[in-house]
Structure 1
């Protein structure tokens, strides 16, 4: 997975010189960018995600950058998440929704995510608290290097990004539990923290 905690943190030593692990609260990756960027050119109208007013509430809104992005699958993994039907969500009360953008790791999916992120960064999208981009593998096996490189470029335009492996079981069933892969476990933990963060400067 692209995002991870720093593994090179020294553990405190005890009085006799032995090291001991200190449990810490999970801290998700810090945002690289957190708001639209001045001077960013918005994409053509045909390349923008639509927006729609959604009813009710959610801890997190999951927005697919394209059809087949894994929007529903991803929302099923995260408590309190709801899908937006491949549209930027607009809340009826005027508050700013927390959003996770998702796409597949093929050229079509990454290009769609790039357009959506450009739309957000240019200020052409509705006001949302974009938490990041999840890039889901589009096929079993290792992703070809050109696609991995493209994913890194696209993900660099999001506040945070996670790359998630292929889940064969999803082809055969409707499981809504997180796959055992550590990438998914960390991703779900990250989003659970981010979606409930009430520190100063965050929106509810």
Structure 2
């Protein structure tokens, strides 16, 4: 071993270890709910006295079962949180939320699916079940409900692939106003209004299956 290299190795035994590389500062992002803090404190006393001061909402009255006719159209969610109840409210008396009242045998139904992964998987699962003859109701279409303002191209392609497994499929855009507390589900966007009209037409008369 060269003498200078040997001396350098010998001297390194008495030097402090090198300082660790400087890491980038981890700056907390501002959150609209908790601001710049990790958390915010809530109520610490859950006694009966405090509970008595809190306003407890009255339970909503139970909805009567829908009157079924040839005009009836069921909305079947592909997964939880699909927006079926909102669509049913907008469409009126001839449209039934399948989570509240199951479709009758051979009753006409439209599947409603959000454009997130669970919605995609749920819609494809129902399409395959329909193809295998496992569904007791007649699926006449699929509604894709945008779960965010901007759906990616990859999601759009997947929605078209799965949608082609149904007799027809529609798309409802993201309605930002509906996400606000206490908001009334009133259609604001042109495509939403068009969808509502298209679905309403299905309740005018029973479709000719010939």
TM-score range, shorter chain: 0.5 to 0.7
**Structure 1: unaligned runs, 5 residues or longer:** 1-53
Aligned to 1:175: 184
* Structure with more relative contact order (C-alpha pairs < 8 Å, separation 6 or more): 1
Aligned to 1:65: 78
Summarize the Cα distance change of 1:198–1:56 in structure 2 as closer, same or farther, 3 Å threshold: closer
Paired residue secondary structure (1:195): coil
Summarize the Cα distance change of 1:55–1:168 in structure 2 as closer, same or farther, 3 Å threshold: closer
Question: Does structure 2 conserve the Cα–Cα contact (< 8 Å) formed by 1:78 and 1:192?
Answer: yes
Quick one: which of 144, 159, 168 aligns to 2:152? 144
TM-score, with normalisation over the residues of structure 2? 0.61
Paired residue secondary structure (2:184): coil
Aligned to 2:91: 78
* Structure 1 position 161 matched with structure 2 position 188: no
Summarize the Cα distance change of 1:136–1:124 in structure 2 as closer, same or farther, 3 Å threshold: same
Aligned to 2:45: none
Count of equivalent residues:
142
Superimposed CA distance per residue, residues 102-157 of structure 1 (whole angstroms, 9 cap, x where no aligned partner)? 0100121111111011111210111x2322100101112x2111101100001101
Paired residue secondary structure (2:130): helix
Question: Does structure 1 conserve the Cα–Cα contact (< 8 Å) formed by 2:74 and 2:103?
Answer: no
For 1:174 and 1:97, how far apart are their aligned partners in 2?
32
For 2:209 and 2:173, how far apart are their aligned partners in 1?
32
Question: Does structure 2 conserve the Cα–Cα contact (< 8 Å) formed by 1:63 and 1:86?
Answer: no
TM-score, with normalisation over the residues of structure 1? 0.63
The runs of at least 4 aligned residues of structure 1 exceeding 6 Å deviation read: none
* Structure 1 position 105 matched with structure 2 position 118: no
RMSD: 2.2
Higher strand share: 1
Summarize the Cα distance change of 1:64–1:200 in structure 2 as closer, same or farther, 3 Å threshold: closer
Higher helix share: 2
